[in-house]
Amino acid sequence: MIPVNPDRFLQDLHSLRAIGASGVGKGVVRPAYSAADIEARDWLAQRMIDAGLTPQFDPMGSLFGLVEGPSLLMGSHSDTQPEGGWLDGALGVIAALEVARAAKESGGPPVSVVSFQDEEGRFGVTTGSAAWSGVLPAEKIGALTDPKGITLPEARAAMGDRLGGWVDPKRFTGFLEMHIEQGPLLDQTGGKIGVVEAIVGIRDRVIRFEGQQNHAGTTPMALRRDAFQALGRFNTLINERFRNVVTPATVWTIGHVSLHPNAHSVVPGKVAFSMQWRDGEAERLRRMEEIIRESAEEVAQAMGMTLAFGPMLGVEPVAMDRAMRSALAEAAEAEVPEQWRQMPSGALHDASNMARLMPAAMLFVPSIGGISHDFAEDTAEADLVSGLNVLARAVARMPASTG
Ligand code: HGY
Ligand code: MN
Ligand code: MN
């Protein structure tokens, strides 16, 4: 086992939490390319230097802490949702830093560290790791916008001359990511560790209906072309039609709605909304896409709307590497006997993209109450340390890192 230092690990985790702290519980506001995000990356780069790693930002702003020669890559992301928790992403980055640092101090296997940029998708879906892995083609990056219409290159300019060249993925023997579960399974069953079997696939796109903006007092109901009513009908239709296609594990979300002009006394003429759906089967994702397209077309036709679809973003469902999973399972059994399980991930992670480049695996620790993407997100510190210890045991056993 690599001799990791739990106190140093927890201290670093709390130092990172202080950058962009929301003031509500342990909440953090550190969206990609914000001042707090860049401050956190500068702080992390210094911690990497202190640990004997060489920091390098790639063209997206993902930060690597590199050792010389072939190494295992560990990490996650340090950007957050608009209202984020202190652990989503940060945990995997700081655990990686501690394992890399302890491995270096003790002459253990070589470990490099990464904090990917925009995992939380201000501009897309796992944007930084998707760009590095080629899932997001270079020519599409410039056109990506956030919900306020700011383009990715505009936001990225805030990183200034920190940005450097791409890191060659061939230098890494595998990718290992620790994360909070962000769901209720471990918490409800008393589990301490989850070894991830596979990560769901996701599709995400913006849909726009445009009708006719008009006076809310004088426009008879029968003559309205109300964009909000179109969204309402679309939502009801897909909920009905998905019933024949989905499983209890399938999820879909309209999470961002922009209504125009968004005023009490105006029949809204335009709506743009996000439509996201996730499932472990690519074929089911495709059938849901068909239902979404047909339903939107039907509503537009019936209600006199013009309809437009934004670019389809997505990541395929992906299985984790078998040998790395075995090393994690053995380490979990040694650390928390019979208090761990194999499980799928319903949340998306950078590991999905990494699996295209190298063997990849993931480890979960419980989320209290199953809450995440909220200031209330939390995990008992004893559980965070158990996860760190499982990593420290597993890395010592990983075939990829010892070869
Ligand atoms: O949305 C996700 O699953 C991830 O947390 N970005
Ligand atoms: Mn995350
Ligand atoms: Mn997240």
End-to-end CA distance of the chain: 17
| Separation of alpha carbons 117 and 112, rounded Å | 16
- The alpha carbon of 252 and the centre of ligand 1 are apart by a number of angstroms equal to 13
Q: Is the CB of 121 inside a 6 Å radius of any atom of ligand 1?
A: yes
Distances in Å between the Cα of 325 and the Cα atoms of 108, 231, 242, 334, 362 are 20, 43, 33, 14, 8
Residue 362's CB: how many other CB atoms inside 10 A?
29
Name the nearest CA neighbour of 358 among 75, 55, 1.
75
Residue 339 in contact with residue 193, Cβ under 8 Å?
yes
pLDDT, tens digit (0-9, with 9 covering 90-100), for 219-233: 999 999 999 999 999
- Ligand closest to Cα of 125 equals 1
Atom of ligand 1 nearest to the CA of 348: 3
- The alpha carbon of 401 and the centre of ligand 3 are apart by a number of angstroms equal to 28
Outline where 35-136 has alpha helix (H). 35-50, 90-106, 127-133
pLDDT, tens digit (0-9, with 9 covering 90-100), for 115-134: 999 999 999 999 999 999 99
Residue 209 in contact with residue 227, Cβ under 8 Å?
yes
Q: Is the CB of 31 inside a 6 Å radius of any atom of ligand 1?
A: no
Residue 402's pLDDT is: 38
Q: Is the CB of 120 inside a 6 Å radius of any atom of ligand 1?
A: yes
Q: Is the pLDDT of residue 100 over 70?
A: yes
Distant-in-sequence, close-in-space partners of 217: CB < 8 Å, separation ≥ 6: 265
Q: Is the CB of 181 inside a 6 Å radius of any atom of ligand 1?
A: no
Residue 399's pLDDT is: 62
Q: Is the pLDDT of residue 373 over 80?
A: yes
Distant-in-sequence, close-in-space partners of 19: CB < 8 Å, separation ≥ 6: 28, 30, 36, 39, 40, 43
| Separation of alpha carbons 281 and 129, rounded Å | 22
pLDDT, tens digit (0-9, with 9 covering 90-100), for 158-168: 999 999 999 99
- The alpha carbon of 373 and the centre of ligand 3 are apart by a number of angstroms equal to 6
Distances in Å between the Cα of 177 and the Cα atoms of 93, 145, 214, 298 are 8, 27, 51, 43
| Separation of alpha carbons 15 and 308, rounded Å | 44
Per the DSSP assignment, residues forming a β-bridge with 380 are none
Mutate to test the pocket of ligand 1, among 30, 76, 348, 367 (most ligand atoms within 8 A of CB): 348
Q: Where are the beta strands (DSSP E) in 186-269?
A: 193-199, 201-210, 214-215, 251-253, 257-260, 266-267
- The alpha carbon of 289 and the centre of ligand 2 are apart by a number of angstroms equal to 25
Atom of ligand 1 nearest to the CA of 372: 5
Q: DSSP letter at 290?
A: H
Residue 403's pLDDT is: 38
Tokens representing 339 are: 């208090």
Among residues of the chain, what percentage have pLDDT more than 90?
A: 98
Q: Is the CB of 387 inside a 6 Å radius of any atom of ligand 1?
A: no
Q: Is the CB of 335 inside a 6 Å radius of any atom of ligand 1?
A: no
Q: Is the CB of 347 inside a 6 Å radius of any atom of ligand 1?
A: yes
Mean pLDDT of 19-48: 97
Atom of ligand 1 nearest to the CA of 278: 3
Task: Give nearest CA residue, ligand 1 atom 6.
Answer: 120
Residue 398's pLDDT is: 81
Residue 173's pLDDT is: 97
Atom of ligand 1 nearest to the CA of 346: 3
- The alpha carbon of 26 and the centre of ligand 1 are apart by a number of angstroms equal to 19
Q: Is the CB of 177 inside a 6 Å radius of any atom of ligand 1?
A: no
Atom of ligand 1 nearest to the CA of 182: 5
- Ligand closest to Cα of 76 equals 2
Is 393 strand, coil or helix? helix
Atom of ligand 1 nearest to the CA of 89: 5
Atom of ligand 1 nearest to the CA of 126: 6
CA 145 to chain centre: 17
Residue 397's CB: how many other CB atoms inside 10 A?
18
Among residues of the chain, what percentage have pLDDT more than 70?
A: 99
Q: Which helix (H) or strand (E) holds 179?
A: strand 172-180
Residue 401's pLDDT is: 44
Work out the mean pLDDT of the chain and round it to a whole number: 97
- The alpha carbon of 261 and the centre of ligand 2 are apart by a number of angstroms equal to 33
pLDDT, tens digit (0-9, with 9 covering 90-100), for 153-205: 999 999 999 999 999 999 999 999 999 999 999 999 999 999 999 999 999 99
